[in-house]
Each structure stands twice: as C-alpha cells, then as structure tokens.
Amino acid sequence: IEPVNVDMGGVLFRVSKITLMDNSSYFESLLSDRWKIDDKDSDGESSDAVFVDQDPKAFEVLLNYMRCGMVYLPRDEPYLCRKTLMLAEYLGVHGFLVTVKAITMKNVSRRDDYLTDEASEAAQFDVRFGSLRAAVNDGLLPTCYFPPGDSLKIRVSDRVFHASKSILVQKSEYFSRLLTSNPVDYWREEYVSGENPDVMEVALQMLSSPNSAFTTMTEKFHGVEGRSVKFRHFYVQAILTWLDKLGLPADFRDNCVQTITHTFNA
C-alpha cells in the first residue's frame, strides 16, 4: 500500500494512496499518473506532502469515512458539520454526500425508510433544495440530517407544557403550519405562546388525551374561581375559541365540544 502524506491546513495525515483516490475525485485527479514521486527520505519513501489549504478537523471526519465507509457528523458541533459538508463537496467525496442527502431527505419527509435507494433519495434532495451550499446556508444542513425529536416545549407565561409534534401535526392545522411550513421548523424544540396557560393546558390535553382534559376542567370548576358561572362561561368560551384556532378535524372538534359542554353542565 503506497502511503501519501497530506498536509491539510498545517496538519499532516498519512494515508494510503488508494484510500484517497477511491473516495475523492479531487485526490483521484491529483494523485493520478501526473503525480510523481521525486524526493525520497532515508527509508526510500516520498518526503513530499500534498498540501491542501482546508480545515484539518473537517478532513479528519471525512478520512474516517474514507477508511471505514461509515458516515458520521458530530451533532454537538454544528459549525464543524458545516465545514465538513463543504469540504466533502470541495474534495468530491461523493459517497459521503449522497448518504447525507438521502438521510436528510428521509428525515424531512418524516419517513422511517428510503422510498427507493440512496442515490434516488439524494437526487430528490438536489431537485427540492438545490445546491449543497444553499442547503447549508438556509440551515437545512446539518440540522435535518439528524433525526428530529418528537417533543415540543410550549412556553406559556410562566408555565411550560410538553407535547408530541407528531400528534400536533396530525390533529391541528395550526401546529401543522407552524411545524411544517419550512422543513427546518419541525426541528424546533420550543414554541412561545401568548395564550392563557389554563386554556392551553386543556387544548393540548384535548389533542392527546381528552379524558385528561375532562379531569383538568372538572378540577378547575370545583375550585374557588370555578364556582362562578361567569368564570365558567369565560373559561369554556376561551377553550372553544382556541380549539377553533387549532384547526381540528370536524369530527374530532365535535367530540371535544361535547366533552367541554358535558363538563360545563356537570
């Protein structure tokens, strides 16, 4: 195996020539027959180093892929991820980019598996999002390469609620628009609302567990404020208004209204 010294931004890497040429169109061209070994060291090996003025940490990530074929991006270092993606494009590490694009396309479409194969998924990515640089600049990458969490933290006044994104998108047009208008939106972790926290609590429970909403409203009506018919009316009206804003399916909304009305009259 013929070794090659690669000076990447001042850091020296010793890599086999075949590893570089098999995985990078840049190095395939650079190390082709035009590349000559002239100077030898005491061991009879080349003392020259191929210099590339790029980030060594990003190259290290790509080198791991070249050596073992596993695509990895450090999720807790988004800046390094972006530099790695751009360096992969510069060096023509196409296999790495095809996998990244395919996984991103699958995640954005919220699918568990590819519809076809990696190459086709990557092609769909290019059609939908354009160039890699555009995807990076728009924040799509590296964010959407990583699987999104399902929990959304909803902050209302001094209270915090946690809800399932999949349920919110499935049952509410309002949250569906909020979380899917832009692909990156589904990766958001927090939403701040100006609604009444008591109303938000019941509305969210209606989406995930109507029985819990029934219990919450019953407890509220049995409290000091709940003894007032005027308060009950205001509270129920506020919940109904928010349910309309959520854009629920007609049959599901009707069930929610029945539950609220039954609780109000209990």
Specify the pLDDT at position 35.
54
Quick: pLDDT tens for 136-178: 999 999 999 999 999 999 999 999 999 999 999 998 999 999 9
DSSP the chain: --EEEEEETTEEEEEEHHHHHHH-HHHHHHTSTT-----B-TTSSB---EEE-S-HHHHHHHHHHHHH------TT-HHHHHHHHHHHHHHT-HHHHHHHHHHHHHHHTT-SS-SS-HHHHHHHHHHHH--HHHHHHTT-TTGGGSPPPSEEEEEETTEEEEEEHHHHHHH-HHHHHHHHSSGGGGG--EEEE-S-HHHHHHHHHHHH-HHHHHHHHHHHHTSTGGG-HHHHHHHHHHHHHHHHHHT--HHHHHHHHHHHHHHHH-
| Structure confidence by residue, pLDDT tens digits, 33-78 | 655 545 454 454 555 789 999 999 999 999 999 999 999 999 999 9
Asked if 61 and 84 count as a contact pair (C-beta separation under 8 A), the reply is yes
Higher-confidence position of 38 and 180? 180
pLDDT for residue 32: 84
How far apart are alpha carbons 75 and 117 in whole angstroms? Answer: 24
Whole-number pLDDT of residue 36: 56
Structure confidence at residue 39 (pLDDT): 46
